[in-house]
Amino acid sequence: MQLSARNKLKGKIKQIKVGAVNNEVILEIGPGVEIASIITRESADRLKLAVGKEAYAVIKASSVMIAVE
């Protein structure tokens, strides 16, 4: 797999919340560290996503913002 995105976070799928059109995929990228992604049900089916399967969160953004109170 070769991508132009520089941020690839490997993890295991912890949970998949199935919706009418989209699924929310929770990926555990470290002990107690999770990242969520919303993808179409069609994409989740095509990728054969399942709890426990290894996957990557691929992040490509022109900016990442930080905020504090």
Q: What is the CATH number of the domain that holds 16?
A: 2.40.50.100
pLDDT for res 67? 84
- Mean pLDDT score of the chain, rounded to an integer? 91
Tokens at 8, concatenated? 């690839």
Return per-residue pLDDT of the chain as tens, 69 residues. 777 777 889 999 999 999 999 999 999 999 999 999 999 999 999 999 999 999 999 988 777 777 888
Indicate whether 44 belongs to any domain. Answer: yes
Which residue(s) pair with 13 in the sheet? 27
In sequence order, the 6+-apart residues with CB closer than 8 A to the CB of 32 are none
Indicate whether 31 belongs to any domain. Answer: yes
- pTM attached to this predicted model: 0.83
What range defines the domain where residue 16 resides? Answer: 7-59
pLDDT for res 3? 78
Using DSSP, state whether 32 is helix, strand or coil.
coil
Quote the number of domains for the chain: 1
Tokens at 19, concatenated? 């919706």
Indicate whether 65 belongs to any domain. Answer: no
Residue with structure tokens 């295991």? 12
Indicate whether 49 belongs to any domain. Answer: yes
Handedness of CA 43, 45, 48, 50 (dihedral sign): positive
